[in-house]
Structure 1
Amino acid sequence: MPWLVFWLIAQDIAGSHGCLQCSADAMAAVREFKDTYLDKHLFWNPQLKAKLKEDLDKFLEELPHQEIDQKKYMAVIDEFSLSDLSAHFKRCLKQIMDNEVKEAQLHKEMDSCFQKLMTVFHELLPRVATCKLCMAWLNYMDQCSNECGVMSYVLTNCFTCLVRTYTCNKKYRCGERRIQVEMDEDLVLDCALHWHKFSQSVKKYNFYQVVKGKLIPMRSSMDSFLVKKEVNVNDTGRYRCDMADSSGFVSSYLDFLVQVVPAVGKTTWFPRPSHTTMTVPLALGISSRAPPPQADFSVWIVIGGTGGLFVFIVLAL
């Protein structure tokens, strides 16, 4: 593969674009800073203006050559990392312009801005670094972040700004998760894996319940989780979810083994008994501990009192 090494060295000799120069948003911010802000604030000092513009261009060109160690440097960048780097870069330049930094402080503020960007850049490097003496496109496979499944990358070559899509192919099955949930609680099946958000393909999640070896569809959506309300013992069993692209190609799948157990430490509410028709008289026995029944003379007392009052009225008349 000597010609590949020669190709990379030739690019270094001819000059490089730099990763930020592959971002339209970043370059729009550069043009605004150079052609509007610097021209306005340094029109009376053309030498300093030219020096600051040159420093900015030099920083952009040398950025992809920054080394992690003696064998690794920036060669390609994924779309998410490029977007993050571009956002930090625009924020840094905007802060200088919003603060109306003048001539004496401009050089110092720009150096501070470059240092901050270098810190951000090195934080992104582990995701996008590759071998310095090898062609980036053919060696990025060593940097695949998916432990399983099929992951699609959209990568930008920092030297040519050429964009290509690459695929990391690994085993489709991503393991099994065991879930124990109490009776009447909600069952949550989360199908997301950490590398899913970095995969370029449009993601759609399909959930199934496995019944006698057959996949019974439950739901398909862009959400990576499924919530099954108030489960019972009949929901115990095996479930599966897969992530598919827009064409229906399955990129990965995950199994769940669910066990529904009785609730612990909770009050059990029994259903109210239904009304029944009695076919025989209800016989109530008398407890041996109960006191003997007493005679009720309240009626005779009322009758006697009423009669006595009537006799008293007649005699009075």
Structure 2
Amino acid sequence: MPWLVFWLIAQDIAGSHGCLKCSADAMAVVREFKDTYLDRHLFWNPQLKAKLKADLDNFVEELTHQRIDAKKYMGVIDEFSLADLGAHFKRCLKHIMENEVKEPQLHKEMDSCFQKTLTVFHELLPRVATHQCSNECGVMVYVFTHCFSCLTRTYTCNKKYYCGERRIQVEMDEDLVLDCALQWHKLTQSVKKYNFYRVVNGKLKPMSSSMDSFLVKKEVNVNDTGRYRCDMVNSEDFVSSYLDFLVQVVPAIGKTTWFPRPSHTTMTVPLALGISSRAPPPQADFSVWIVIGGTGGLFVFILLAFLFAYFRRKREEEDEEDDDDDESESGSSELVAM
């Protein structure tokens, strides 16, 4: 078994190391804890200081020799799990230093830190085994660090390149989203790039090339119906996996098209990479009619007000004339009576 052979060779060459020793960040904090924190807080008790330093070194050295099922642990760890393990151990030691923990609590806090780190280590290892060759298709690349030598090696798991076909139905004027990502893609540690094609008469017509695993084609029409393809390629532009898409554009249901969209014989709709932003359906524009109606209404209102004021003034003048006539008549009657 190649894993076991490498494991034995690594042990013979480099001796015993713990996975934590393969984390440069974690070891930097360990040195700070031993050479600065313990020296400053336990200078008056050299025996206890030496004991705690030895306990710390032994834990780091022996972490990799845990009794764990061989199916879950083979003396290796992936880059992400090693980063998680180192980050947890760093937080644990920094917590002690930031809180200025002293005797008699210092020894207890260190033991608690070791136990929590050991628990995290046991939880991470099944994930490492699960990630190994977890691809159902394509070529998966993963990098493992050997805990006994801290040597890093790259491995590949080769399976069929074709990853199947996805059927997509999209309504007219909606956005077409082609998502090429597979679950194991995020685990493969090679540089990934995605190439999208339109299949025309059996030939691949390039559409886009990007680090993004999806493509968005805005406001599709019937001419966008057809077959598409997505290739995931590595840093050397070799295909690691490819996926087909069979797209069907159907008429929109329950939507009114106010202005008919002109027919196109070629793909002239621009391509966009990023998060899909769905455009709302065309809406009728009544703003002009609102302005016209409002202006007309204001004009009518002003006209009616003017006419009302005019006729009211005229009526008042007529009333005044009638009053003058009545007064003149009554004056004449008085003169005749005299």
TM class by smaller structure = 0.7 to 0.9
Q: Is the 8 A contact 1:75 1:128 kept in 2?
A: no
For structure 2, list consecutive stretches of 5 or more residues without a partner in the other structure.
Answer: 262-338
Partner of 2:59: 59
Question: How far does residue 82 in structure 1 lie from its aligned partner after superposition?
Answer: 1.2
Alpha-carbon spacing, 1:209–1:263, altered in 2? closer, same or farther (3 Å): same
Secondary structure of the 1:247 match is coil
Aligned mates of 2:170, 2:220 — CA distance in 1: 8
Q: How does 1:77-116 map to 2 (within 5 A)?
A: 77-116=77-116
Aligned mates of 1:114, 1:214 — CA distance in 2: 60
Aligned mates of 1:242, 1:5 — CA distance in 2: 35
Alpha-carbon spacing, 1:262–1:176, altered in 2? closer, same or farther (3 Å): same
Question: How far does residue 217 in structure 1 lie from its aligned partner after superposition?
Answer: 0.4
Secondary structure of the 1:248 match is coil
Alpha-carbon spacing, 1:38–1:172, altered in 2? closer, same or farther (3 Å): same
Letter of the 1:269 partner, please give it.
W
Stretch moving more, 109-118 or 69-78: 69-78
Q: Is the 8 A contact 1:209 1:215 kept in 2?
A: yes
Secondary structure of the 1:73 match is coil
- Cα deviation, 1:86-131, whole Å, max 9, x if unaligned, reads 122212211221111112222222222222222322222123349x
Stretch moving more, 4-13 or 222-231: 4-13
Alpha-carbon spacing, 1:154–1:271, altered in 2? closer, same or farther (3 Å): closer
Question: How far does residue 10 in structure 1 lie from its aligned partner after superposition?
Answer: 9.1
Secondary structure of the 2:183 match is coil
Q: Is the 8 A contact 1:75 1:129 kept in 2?
A: no
Partner of 2:257: 268
Aligned mates of 1:253, 1:77 — CA distance in 2: 29
Partner of 2:294: none
Partner of 1:170: 159
Secondary structure of the 2:237 match is coil
Q: Is the 8 A contact 1:238 1:255 kept in 2?
A: yes
Aligned mates of 1:151, 1:58 — CA distance in 2: 36
Stretch moving more, 99-108 or 10-19: 10-19
- Cα deviation, 1:226-282, whole Å, max 9, x if unaligned, reads 11111111111111111111211111111111122222233332449xxxxxxxxxx
- What TM-score results when the alignment is normalised by the length of structure 2? 0.70
Q: How does 1:241-280 map to 2 (within 5 A)?
A: 241-271=230-260
Letter of the 1:154 partner, please give it.
V
Alpha-carbon spacing, 1:108–1:254, altered in 2? closer, same or farther (3 Å): same
Letter of the 2:219 partner, please give it.
E
- Cα deviation, 1:145-173, whole Å, max 9, x if unaligned, reads 21111111221111111111111111111
Secondary structure of the 1:253 match is strand
Letter of the 2:18 partner, please give it.
G
Stretch moving more, 195-204 or 32-41: 195-204
- Sequence identity, in percent? 86
Question: How far does residue 9 in structure 1 lie from its aligned partner after superposition?
Answer: 9.3
Aligned mates of 1:270, 1:163 — CA distance in 2: 62
Alpha-carbon spacing, 1:10–1:83, altered in 2? closer, same or farther (3 Å): closer
Aligned mates of 1:160, 1:184 — CA distance in 2: 58
Please point out which of 138, 148, 157 is paired with 1:149.
Answer: 138
Letter of the 1:253 partner, please give it.
Y
CA RMSD, 1 decimal: 2.7
- Cα deviation, 1:188-237, whole Å, max 9, x if unaligned, reads 11111222222222111100111121111000011111111111111111
Structure holding more helix per residue = 2
Q: How does 1:221-236 map to 2 (within 5 A)?
A: 221-236=210-225
Stretch moving more, 62-71 or 197-206: 62-71
Aligned mates of 2:47, 2:14 — CA distance in 1: 27
Aligned mates of 1:144, 1:55 — CA distance in 2: 37
Secondary structure of the 1:180 match is strand
Letter of the 1:242 partner, please give it.
D
Letter of the 1:251 partner, please give it.
S
Q: Is the 8 A contact 2:10 2:149 kept in 1?
A: no
Q: Is the 8 A contact 2:15 2:149 kept in 1?
A: no
Instruction: Report the count of equivalent residues.
Output: 260
Aligned mates of 2:35, 2:187 — CA distance in 1: 35
Aligned mates of 2:251, 2:198 — CA distance in 1: 21
Aligned mates of 1:154, 1:14 — CA distance in 2: 20
**Counterpart check, 1:50 vs 2:50:** yes
